[in-house]
Amino acid sequence: MSVQPGASAPLIDPEDFRSWILYEDERLLVVNKPGLIVCHPSKNGPWSSLVGAVRAYLGLPTVHLVFRLDRETSGVVVLAKDSGTAGRLQKAMERRLIGKRYLAIVEGELAGPVTVDQPLGPDPDSCVTIRSKVVTAGSPGAQAAVTHFEPLARGGGFTLARVRLDTGRKHQIRAHALWLGHPVVGDKLYGPDERLYLEFARQGWTARHAALLPLPRQALHCAEIDLHPAGEPHVFRAPLPAELRTFCREQLGVEAAD
């Protein structure tokens, strides 16, 4: 699916949606969400969000996001068909029994693996209320956050990194990448100017976005999730999407592996 950047989330084609399905049984649906698709229902109808599309596809009045991805983050999303399954999986996530691994393209070339162990909290100085930042432990709203970055390929002033989280805080990867001095490529909120986020919400993609951002969406992808859907361990994988593969090839000079 080719998704164009715009202030409004694009509508999902039902035929495209079927190609996103990675796994389905009587309790779970696992999909590979493209970037720029919102997870939560919107006022623009069932095919304007991932949850709306899943409800329409399944013919169910309610489905449950076990966890969500930001609009611009692509990759594996797990949805439960009943509240009991959703509750069990959410509790497992809280106990860190479910593993998630991401791929990110960041600015600059990471010399080697690095772990960021820095608490995150709200950014009172930001013009965007949802923005997080590294804060002092014990400050209002501070939450412990640990992120591991492992470079897989470097070149052209960029790094393709595998990212693993010990905690699951809001915008954790993006805020920690910025703190490192290696922001996620294409990030409108944690990149060169946070006002790009608000401008995109109002106007969509503009010439100023194109001048400041190497990609029209943030280069963050949930590549793997390990679950136990039928009592047996199973890893669900989503390959790096075409636009991020193209960026790796053209800017880093590498063919990115899944």
- What is the rounded average pLDDT of the residues 139-149? 94
Going from the C-alpha of 214 to that of each of 60, 134, 208, the distances in angstroms are 40, 25, 11
What is the model's pTM?
Answer: 0.92
Residue in this structure with the two tokens 């591991």, named with its chain if needed: 148
Rounded Cα distance, 195 and 21, in Å: 35
For residues 186 and 217, what is the distance between their CA atoms, to the nearest angstrom? 5
What is the share, in percent, of the chain residues with pLDDT greater than 90? 74
Query: Which pLDDT does position 65 carry in this prediction?
Result: 94
Q: What is the pLDDT of residue 1?
A: 46
Higher pLDDT, 105 or 141: 105
pLDDT at 230 over 60: no
Exactly one of 16, 70, 193, 226 is catalytic; name it: 70
Residue type, 124: P
pLDDT at 143: 95
Q: Identify whether 70 is a catalytic site residue.
A: yes
Q: Is the separation of the CB atoms in 140 and 123 below 8 Å?
A: no
Tokens of 157: 């002033």
pLDDT at 30: 95
Over residues 146-164, mean pLDDT: 97
Residue with tokens 């309790």: 27
Query: Cβ-count burial of 185 within 10 angstroms (0-12 exposed, 13-18 middle, 19+ buried)?
Result: buried
Note the pLDDT tens digit of each residue in 67-82.
889 999 999 999 999 9
Alpha helices in the chain (DSSP H): 14-20, 50-58, 83-94, 172-180, 195-203, 207-212, 242-247
Q: Is the pLDDT of residue 187 over 80?
A: yes
Cβ contacts of 59 within 8 Å, gap of 6 or more: none
Mean pLDDT is lowest, of 37-46, 163-172, 210-219, for 37-46
Please give the Cα distance from 222 to 239 (Å, whole number). 9
For the chain, how many helices (H) and strands (E)?
7, 12
In this predicted model, what pLDDT tens digit does every residue of 14-65 receive, in sequence order?
Answer: 999 999 999 999 999 999 999 989 998 877 888 999 999 999 999 999 999 9
| Topology (CATH) of 14-252 | Pseudouridine synthase (3.30.2350)
8 A C-beta contact, residue 191 and residue 235:
no
Which tokens in the block code for residue 50? 């991932």
Cα–Cα distance for residue pair 140/153, rounded to 1 Å: 38
Mean pLDDT of the chain: 91
User: What is the pLDDT, as a whole number, of residue 98?
Assistant: 86
Give residue 246's pLDDT band: very low, low, confident or very high (50, 70, 90): very high
pLDDT reading at 229 higher than 70? no
* pLDDT tens by residue, 113-124: 999 999 999 998
Question: 246, 245, 224: which is closest to 235 by C-alpha?
Answer: 224
Given a cut of 70, is residue 134 above it in pLDDT?
Answer: yes
pLDDT above 70: percentage of residues in the chain: 93
Q: How far apart are CA 173 and CA 256, in angstroms?
A: 20
Cα angle for residues 135, 217, 31 (degrees, 5° grid): 95
